[in-house]
Amino acid sequence: MTDTLSYAEVIGDPIAHSKSPIIHKFWLEKLAIEADYRMFHVKPDELADYIASRRDDPHWQGCNVTIPHKLAVMDHVSDPGDVRASIGAMNTIARTESGDLFGTNTDAGGFFAPIADVPLTGQDVIVIGAGGAAQAVLFALSRIDVGSVTIINRNVLKASALLARFGLKGKALEHGSALPPARLLVNASALGMKGQDELLVDLSSLPDDAIIYDLVYVPLKTKLLVAAKARGLETIDGVSMLIGQAAVAFEIFFGQAPPLEHDEELRKLLLA
């Protein structure tokens, strides 16, 4: 790869754990596209300078945005799809044909893809977290007419405000509270991620048909998913959403849909 190739990247703090380069490089190779995908460590106080430098780089096609920049990045790019008013967080920055930078969000679609066939209308849901990923989850849930939504978060007031924002009925609880019964539990926080605090929840109140969906993918077998499997519950790991949101971003960056027929091979690569 040379510096004259078009490229995209993923930014965050931390970033070394990211599997996005594996996914995008896999697709680029399968499609024989002459381009690159990288990771770049950007601390919160470096975000404005990062965006400014990439804005002037004609080879840069855009970036995926991960913790903790999904909210702050909205102040640095245009918002043609009014993401700020809908999901309230951006995870993808790209260029228009005229070279202007705009932001969008592929998390909501990526989150929903693995559960699209699950009948969740009128079903109760628990969401852990209230950051950018949680907002994408809540946005998706608001579009499928779920029942009551319980948000578990350190800041209960913030969580309550998100319920109102997305027009969801439910309640906000602090960490450590007993979980209400629910058909779906989603961990949309960083808890349980490598280097972060563990997510400690008691799943005993959930029904036997509950689905446990952990957006964390490092480690892939989180303690939450291990506990869920020990109870015989259905589980969905973070790789499912990771591939789903990456597929939308890839087409934005490189102008071609990714070859999803190779998903099984890609998943094995990610789990190696």
Task: Give catalytic residue positions.
Answer: 70
CA dihedral angle for residue 133, residue 241, residue 178, residue 222, rounded to 10 degrees: -110
DSSP-assigned letters across all residues of 117-165:
TS--TT--EEEE--SHHHHHHHHHHHTTT-S-EEEE-S-HHHHHHHHHH
User: Which among 254, 249, 200 is positioned nearest to 227, based on CA atoms?
Assistant: 200
Q: Percentages helix, strand, coil for the chain, rounded to the nearest 5?
A: 35, 20, 45
Query: Which tokens is 20 given?
Result: 């996005």
Contact 181, 207 (CB under 8 A): yes
User: Which among 66, 38, 67 is positioned nearest to 54, based on CA atoms?
Assistant: 38
Contact 189, 134 (CB under 8 A): yes
Cis peptide before 14 (omega within 30 of 0): yes
Query: Which tokens is 24 given?
Result: 């995008």
Contact 12, 68 (CB under 8 A): yes
Location of structure tokens 């995008």: 24
User: Which among 89, 33, 31 is positioned nearest to 65, based on CA atoms?
Assistant: 89
Instruction: Please tell me the distance from the alpha carbon of residue 196 to that of residue 220, in angstroms, as a whole number.
Output: 14
